[in-house]
Amino acid sequence: MAEISDTTPQTQTVTFDIEDGGSGGDSRSPGISRPLVSVSFVQKLIGEFVGTFSLIFAGCAAIVVNDTYGKAVTLPGIALVWGLTVMVMIYSIGHVSGAHFNPAVSIAFASSRKFPFKQVPGYIAAQLLGSTLAAEALRLVFHLDDNVCSLKGDIYVGTYPSSSNTATFVMEFITTFNLMFVISAVATDKRANGSFAGIAIGATVVLDILFCGYK
């Protein structure tokens, strides 16, 4: 969700390098096999997995509870759960992986040369795995079945588009732009105060959900 590791020197040396096995060179003899990925990169992937799992589990759990218990959580409550989870995960994992938690963020950073392209596939794989397992965990924990989900047994609970396809597209474009604008402004610009990145990004998620959650 946010690349806040630019101000942390030790995270800048973490690489996904299949040629030298890391960023610090290799003084071993040629006969010793080299690792395909560095230990630090594996830590990054674990961080992305844990962060994405936590985000999807907490956010979607709020939606499930709201739908199951008579709208007890409400839209503002759901928005707060998503935003607070993003904020907590950024401060918890941001110094390890950059706290992307979203393929769009990883691709955007790579496109703007803020993140190595060769690490994008690994990040996306970790994010997809974390989100998929979070959805399965929700199904097991809340005993989701046809009474809660669709008649086909799919996991699909939450808000439904109430506007036309064009209006929905415009709203999604605006909210995604807002999120990426804030992330780029507070998390990648060295002139910004990076210590407030988690708060700013979490608040943006809350606002996006509040003004377009039912659209």
Q: Reduced to 3 states, what is the DSSP secondary structure of residue 140?
A: helix
Rounded Cα distance, 210 and 204, in Å: 10
pLDDT of residue 5: 47
Q: Does residue 61 form part of some domain?
A: yes
Q: State yes or no: pLDDT of 51 exceeds 70.
A: yes
Q: Supply 126's token pair.
A: 């970790």
Domain boundaries, position 197: 9-14+38-212
Tell me how far the alpha carbon of residue 209 is from its chain's centroid: 16
Those residues with Cβ within 8 angstroms of residue 92's Cβ, 6 or more apart along the chain or in another chain: 51
- Predicted TM-score of the model (pTM): 0.74
74: domain CATH number is 1.20.1080.10
Residue 113 pLDDT: 87
Instruction: Give the per-residue pLDDT at 84.
Output: 96
Distance CA 13, CA 27 (A): 17
Mean pLDDT score of the chain, rounded to an integer? 78
Residue at 19 is within a domain: no
Q: Domain count for the chain, please give it.
A: 1
Q: pLDDT tens digit string along 60-91? A: 999 888 888 888 888 999 999 999 999 999 99
Q: Is 212 helix (H, G, I), strand (E, B) or coil?
A: helix
